[in-house]
Structure formats: structure tokens, C-alpha cells
Structure 1
Amino acid sequence: MLNDIFVAPFVDMFAAPDFLMQVLWEGLVSGILYALIALGFVLIYRSSRIFNFAQGIMVVFAALTLVGLHAMGVPAWICILLTLGVMFVLAVVVERVVLRPLVGQPDIILFMATIGITLFLIGLGEIIFGGENKVMITAELGIPTGSVLLEPFGGLLILEQKDITAVIVAALLVVGLLIFLNKTRMGRAIRALGDDHQAALSVGISLQTIWVLVWFIAGIIALVTGIAWGARAGVSFALEVIAYKALPVLMLGGLESITGAIVGGLMIGMLEKLFEIYWGQPLLGGNTETWFAFVLALIVLLFRPQGLFGERIIERV
């Protein structure tokens, strides 16, 4: 019995290295998309100390807006620009209507406000776009849908071109975000708010402007993630459930760490896929991807409550 649980899966894993690489690739793609969603959480939390529960529905709402505009006859690339405009308006409305009146309120009040934003966007999305599943406009956006075949170790490795595109675009987005945060004046202001909130406000950094900016950046991330996930699984409100995988990523990597969001997403994406294929299906009947990430994050929290990349909080009395 112990041999079947602990030894046999590792033997199977390395007996077919080409299949192992296929599993790791699938996990890598999922992990990158998890990391993108987690980045939206991290940016908003660092700048405002608000845990944005609405990030998941923002992914769905952005994708539905893109597909809905195209269904009205708008050209695909114009749809992207209009969707970015919608996400900017959403950022302004959230700052003016929800966040600004709640400045100084306890964290739990701000968290509940983001739950309210989630429910509002779900209702608004269903009214405007309906609840049925929609097809992402991959061809219209120029996203290739074929496959690339490789033959490592004498086997066969299949890479979907839309997954390769998603990985490249996600990598460019992360690099662009890091350059923005480290090299631009507004990026340094966001980092300053994350490092020392009161000190940043005391030197004249506008809290309202930063809030709008980070919510808009989170909207851009949501749109990119929505396109990538929509190309793989269609566009519907079920994507919100996938977006919740960012929660264990945050627990694993740390709520304030951009590096932690990226590394945590990659770790969870690949580990959950490995566990599903080599342990979940043969031993547990499958479907372990729905809970593995949360169990892994819980185990990490038991030993390191701040996450792998979070700063240890030391309180002196």
C-alpha cells in the first residue's frame, strides 16, 4: 500500500519523461494565469490595504465586455480599447463611490465593500450579457489555435499555440509592470504607499489617484487573464471560480509580494497538475485540482503564516 502511494507515482513520473514535460507545461500555463490574477490582488492590497474580493469577477466582466462588444459588430482590436475604457471607468467609479467615502474605516468594512462590488458586477453582467457560455474571439484577436509538436526523449510533446501566446503575453505584462513600478514616478508612488502608507501620504502622494491607477492596472490584468482563460474554457461566470485559485497563491506567496504572487502561481499550477495526474487520478479518483491548492497553502501557513515571501511580523511589547 505504501509503495503504491509513495513510490509507484515517482516511478511512473520518470519512466515517461516526455509525458512528465507535458504535465509540467499544462501546469505552467495554469500557474501563470493564477499568478496574473494574484498580481491584481497584490497591487490593490499594497496601495490601499484592501483585500479586493472582486478581482475574480473583474476577470469575468472584462472578458464578457470584450466578447459582448464584438457581438455588436465592433472590430476586435477596437473592442480591446473600449474594454480598457470600461475598466478605467470602473476604477474611477469604485474610487469615487465606494472607497473614498470609506477612508479610515476598519479593514473588514472595506473588504465587505469589495464583496458588494462583486455582487454588483455579477448582476450587471447577467443583465447586459446574459448567463450563457460564450466563445472567446481568439481568431479575431489574431491568437493562433493550432498546435506545435515536439519530440523530446523520443516521445511527443503537444503545445497549444494559444497557450504559448498566453505565456508570452503574460511574461511581457509582468516585465512591463515591474518596469512601471520601478522606473516611473507613479510606479514609485505605488511602491511608497506599500512600504509606508503614512509617510507616502505625508509627502503629498494622492491616495485617490493611486487607487484609480491600481484598480485600472488590476482591470488590465483581468482583461488579459480573461482572454487567456476564455480561449481555453470559454467565457462565462464559471471563470470566477477559477479566479479564486489566486487565494491559495496569495497565501503561499504572501499578500504583499509581487515575487510571491508569480512564484506562488507557478508552484501551485505545476504541483496541482502533477498531483492530479500521478496521485489524484490513480489513487483518489481524480478531481483533486479543486482542493489541492488550498490544502497546500494551509500546510504552508501552519509553518509560515506570512507566506513564503511575506515579511515576518514581529510585535514588541
Structure 2
Amino acid sequence: MSFVIEVLVGGLLAGVMYSMVAIGFVLIYKASGVFNFAQGSLVLFGALTFVSLVERGIRAPIAFAITLAALIVVALVVGRTILQPLVNRPPIVLFMATLGLSFILEGLAQLVWGAQVHGLDLGIDDKPLNISGVMVSQFDLFAAGTAGVLVVGLSLLTNRTRLGLSLRAVADDPLAALAVGIRLPRVWTIVWGLAGLVSLIAGLLWGARLGVQFSLSLIVLKALPVLIIGGFSSISGAIVAGLIVGASEKLAEVFVGPVLGGGIENWFPYVLAVLFLLARPAGLFGEPAIERV
């Protein structure tokens, strides 16, 4: 029984790591109504910039501040050169724009910092803790705590502030929001800056776990089932769905994998995602689209 609990807890904590990436997608979607394919590249760009600065002798807090400033500059450039000219265009147009942006960010990161793999040590031991007979990773607990702080802070920001109201208005109808005095460039810049902060934190945690390398941008593939299950517009949904995905894939790998030949955790979340699309297309916490006819 203790083994089952360890697998379940390990899966739940791994799901928190997936949620960290998914939250960045949710922020952009709530502000522009588009799936930002460049989120994985932002994760890579942030982690690679931070570790490269640290390796050049810059202290970690200063490197963090410089990296965050660089991501905010990216937010400003994206808002002025991509989002603003494409206001009220079809969502597929914005999606293709973010797809191109992802390749631009990866190419820029490789041009500036090179393509070698970097190790990243955040000073957090990955030794297991014995909690009531259950072995739990210290690193995973730290990641879960970090995600919890982010979720509470972002939920308060988006649901209890004027910025959150402006954000939802822009997502519903950019031109109507503009007509009532909401400054679209300001809202988009703030949201992309917040998404950059989330991407940086997620990049540091994933980089410390897997190493900072260009395959880190593919973490978007792990976040996609989380978004489908939780809903593209809910921060709390991203956390709940991440827990569902993390726990289910680990349990499936341990108990179903031996029957099917192993490797099931790589595709089992997509089975869940397809089932949710069939049963509840908007996700657990998403808002169903209502159209007048």
C-alpha cells in the first residue's frame, strides 16, 4: 500500500511541474484568446539566459532580474510588433504568429548563448524525505510550494483587480475593450510579462531537473493535455488538471505499463485529453462558448 501511495504522491508532484508551464498558456489565452505556441520557447529562453549568466560569474539574484527584464522586453516587442497589428484577426492567425515567434526565440537563444547543454543547480537537494513512511522528493515539494504561491497570487490578480477585469474584456472582444478605454498594449505587455515570469520559474525548475537544453522547449507537449482537461482559461484548472495528468500517468505506467509493454506515461495523458474533448470540450473549469443564432 505504501508503494501505491508513493507512486501517487510522486505523480501528483510531477503534475505540479506540468501545471507550471500550463499557467503561462492560460495567462496569454485569457488576454488574447489564442493558444501561445511560443510558451515552450519562453521557458527555454528564460532558463538558458539565466544559466548562461550564472556561468559567466553573475550572482543568481542579479541573473534572475536580468533574465526577467529580458523577458519583459520580449513582451514589449511582441505586443507592439505582433499582437497589436493583428487585433481582431481570426485566432488561427494569432496562433501562426506565435508559432513563428517560437522559432525566432529558439534561434535567438542559440545565436546568443550557443547550443550546448547546461547543468543547473538551484541549491535544492533532491533527496527523499520520509513522511509517515512515504518517500517524497524535497525538490518536488519545493516545486509544489512554488506553484502554490504562483497560483494564489495570479488568481487574486486576475479575479480581484481591475487588471483582471480588463484582461477578460480584452479576451472577449479586443475592439470593444479598446472602445471603452482599455489600453490593449498595456494589458498585453503586463500579461506577457507575467507569462515571462512564470516561464522563467518553470524553466529553472525543469532545467534543474532535466538540464538546460533545447529539448526543454518541447515541454509544451506535456502541458497540452493539462490545458485540455483543465480548460484554457482557468489558472486553478491548470493546477487541478496537472495533478490529474501527473497521477494518472504514473499509476498507468506502474500498473498498466507491464501489460502493454511500458512507455505508457508518454501517451496516456493524451488518451485522457481525447476523452475530455468528447465529454467536456471546454475542460473542467473552462467556460463553454455560447453563440447566438
How do residues 1-317 of structure 1 correspond to structure 2 at under 5 angstroms?
17-139=1-123, 143-152=124-133, 157-194=134-171, 197-280=174-257, 282-317=258-293
Contact 1:147 1:161 in 2 (8 A): yes
Contact 2:151 2:235 in 1 (8 A): no
Q: Which moved more, 1:209-218 or 1:243-252?
A: 243-252
The Cα shift of 1:32 comes to: 1.0
Segment drifting more, 103-112 vs 115-124: 103-112
TM-score norm. by structure 2 comes to 0.94
Q: Which ranges of structure 2 fall in alignment gaps of 5 or more residues?
A: none
**3-state SS in 1 of match to 2:135:** strand
For 2:40 and 2:114, the matched residues in 1 are separated by 18
Any idea what SS the aligned residue of 2:214 has?
Answer: coil
Identical columns (%): 48
* Counterpart-to-counterpart distance in 2, 1:266 and 1:316: 35
- Structure 1 runs of 4+ aligned residues shifted over 6 Å read none
Alignment-mate amino acid for residue 162 of structure 1? F
Which range is displaced more, 46-55 or 193-202? 193-202
Distance of aligned partners of 1:208 and 1:248 in 2 relative to their CA distance in 1, 3 Å threshold: same
Q: CA deviation at 1:29?
A: 1.8
Q: Give a deviation string over 1:195-240, Cα, whole Å, max 9, x none.
A: 5655533321111111111111111111111111112111111222
Instruction: Tell me the TM-score normalized by structure 1.
Output: 0.87
Larger-Rg structure: 1
User: Given residue 87 of structure 2, which amino acid in structure 1 is its aligned partner?
Assistant: V
Aligned partner of 2:253: which letter? Answer: E
Partner Cα distance (1:125, 1:65) in 2: 8
Q: Is the 8 A contact 1:67 1:136 kept in 2?
A: yes
**SS of residue in 1 equivalent to 2:163:** helix
1:135 alignment partner AA: G
In 2, the alpha carbon distance for the partners of 1:100 and 1:198 equals 11
